[in-house]
């Protein structure tokens, strides 16, 4: 198991380096002179632009710049400084991360708490419940996250006045106020994942219920409830974990737009603002932090799959 975990850690490191290197090259491909000029007035002389580019370290080859950025990250946990405010990028990310992490956690909890039971009930009950899940799945997945977000705001915030339409209250100021500001955007992100997970669990459970071992258990007098929850659902655990890990990527991607709709000060909103203003270190820092979150979640899922399914360790 230790070798398996180390192999997955190395794979995660390769993914991190590959994604951040590609992002770095794309962001800095236009050259240090052009990047520096975007921060100066139109009256800036070439000498002033070159001086600014040299001050920012943009005149060196891009591979050398990326190597220095990576070494500084590994040795000093630093992501450089913002071009606009000169604030450490790490501080910017730490100030914004609680919002995005709150969205990720609540959305994932909603996906697990609603998607898995929906799939199991649809597979075991059939009939109207099964058809209802299929209709719900097709309908929700056809609407983008921002569309769902606007609908939820219109209904629950502007229509029923049950929840705030915008803003964020930190968890340190109370669980209730925090949940009130995070539940609508989390639901806007999670609805598509709930529908997808429910449909996938339904299919997996239907396949398992047709397996020989299930028919054998039933023939021996094992109750249907025990067969479903103690045997079939346990066998569906590894693919369920894989499905959930894929949904983490969907949730993180959806948070970028949803944060703008609900005026949440998270990583998505700062990434868009930094991209529009040309603050490349902040954009790169957000990408690196999101990759770390995704790699960490996938690593946890892979390790859990290794425990649940020993055959996975030999791959």
- Indicate whether 95 and 85 sit together in one domain: no
Tens digit of pLDDT at every position of the chain (315 positions): 677 777 878 888 899 999 999 999 988 888 877 887 777 767 778 888 888 788 778 888 889 989 988 988 888 777 888 888 888 888 888 888 888 889 888 988 998 888 888 888 887 777 787 788 888 888 887 888 778 888 888 888 888 888 888 888 888 888 998 999 999 999 988 888 888 888 888 887 777 777 777 677 667 776 666 666 666 666 767 777 777 777 788 788 778 788 888 888 888 888 888 888 888 889 999 999 888 888 888 888 777 776 666 555 555
What distance in Å separates the CA atoms of residue 178 and residue 186, rounded to the nearest whole number?
12
Distance (Å) of CA 272 to CA 36, 236, 286: 20, 39, 10
Determine the distance from the C-alpha atom of residue 91 to the mean position of all C-alpha atoms in its chain, rounded to a whole number: 20
- Indicate whether 266 and 130 sit together in one domain: yes
Residue 22's pLDDT is what? 94
What are 77's two structure tokens?
């946990």
In a domain, 163, yes or no: yes
Distance (Å) of CA 300 to CA 98, 128, 180, 308: 21, 36, 29, 12
Of 106, 58, 67, 3, give the one whose Cα is nearest residue 313.
Answer: 3
Instruction: Report the 10 Å Cβ neighbour count for 111.
Output: 27
Q: Is 168 helix (H, G, I), strand (E, B) or coil?
A: coil
In a domain, 200, yes or no: yes
Which stretches of the chain are DSSP H helices? 2-28, 32-37, 46-55, 62-76, 89-110, 116-125, 127-142, 145-152, 175-209, 212-219, 224-226, 233-235, 237-261, 267-277, 280-308
- Indicate whether 114 and 241 sit together in one domain: yes
In a domain, 314, yes or no: no
Q: What does the DSSP 8-state code read for residue 211?
A: S
Structural domain span for residue 271: 90-287
Q: What predicted TM-score, i.e. pTM, was given to this entire model?
A: 0.80
Q: Is 81 helix (H, G, I), strand (E, B) or coil?
A: strand
- Indicate whether 254 and 276 sit together in one domain: yes
- Indicate whether 48 and 80 sit together in one domain: yes
- Indicate whether 67 and 183 sit together in one domain: no
Please answer whether residues 178 and 98 qualify as being in contact, where contact means their C-beta atoms are separated by less than 8 angstroms: no
- Indicate whether 183 and 275 sit together in one domain: yes
In a domain, 312, yes or no: no
What distance in Å separates the CA atoms of residue 279 and residue 139, rounded to the nearest whole number?
38
Q: What does the DSSP 8-state code read for residue 311?
A: G
Number of domain units in the chain: 2
- Indicate whether 145 and 226 sit together in one domain: yes
- Indicate whether 26 and 75 sit together in one domain: yes
- Indicate whether 266 and 248 sit together in one domain: yes
In a domain, 300, yes or no: no
Instruction: Report the 10 Å Cβ neighbour count for 255.
Output: 28
Residue 20's pLDDT is what? 92
Q: What is the CATH number of the domain that holds 201?
A: 1.10.3720.10
Tell me whether residue 143 is exposed, middle or buried, using C-beta atoms within 10 angstroms of its C-beta: 0 to 12, 13 to 18, 19 or more: middle
């Amino acid at each position: 198991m230790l070798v398996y975990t180390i192999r997955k850690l190395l794979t995660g490191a390769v993914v991190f380096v590959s994604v951040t290197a590609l992002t770095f090259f794309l962001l800095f491909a236009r050259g240090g002179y052009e990047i520096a000029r975007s921060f100066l007035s139109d009256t800036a002389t070439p000498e002033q632009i070159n001086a600014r580019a040299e001050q920012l370290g943009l005149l060196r080859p891009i591979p050398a710049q990326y190597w220095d950025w990576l070494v500084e990250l590994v040795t000093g946990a630093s992501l450089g400084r913002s071009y606009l405010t000169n604030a450490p990028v790490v501080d910017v990310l730490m100030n914004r991360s609680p919002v995005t992490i709150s969205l990720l956690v609540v959305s994932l909890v909603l996906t697990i708490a609603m998607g898995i039971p929906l799939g199991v009930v649809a597979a075991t009950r059939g009939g109207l419940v099964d058809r209802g899940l299929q209709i719900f799945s097709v309908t929700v997945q056809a609407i983008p996250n921002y569309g769902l977000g606007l609908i939820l705001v219109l209904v629950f915030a502007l229509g029923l006045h049950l929840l705030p339409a915008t803003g964020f209250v930190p968890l340190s100021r109370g669980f209730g106020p925090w949940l009130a500001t995070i539940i609508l955007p989390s639901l806007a992100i999670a609805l598509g994942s709930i529908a997808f997970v429910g449909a996938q669990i339904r299919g997996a459970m239907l396949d398992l219920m047709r397996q020989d071992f299930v028919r054998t258990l039933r023939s021996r007098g094992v109750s249907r409830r025990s067969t479903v929850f103690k045997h079939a659902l346990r066998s569906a655990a590894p693919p369920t974990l894989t499905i959930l890990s894929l949904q983490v990527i969907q949730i993180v991607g959806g948070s970028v737009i949803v944060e703008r709709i609900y005026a949440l000060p998270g990583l998505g909103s700062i990434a868009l603002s930094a991209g529009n203003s040309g603050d490349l270190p902040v954009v790169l820092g957000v990408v690196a932090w999101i990759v770390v979150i995704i790699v960490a979640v996938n690593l946890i899922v892979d390790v859990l799959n290794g425990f649940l399914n020993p055959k996975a360790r030999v791959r």
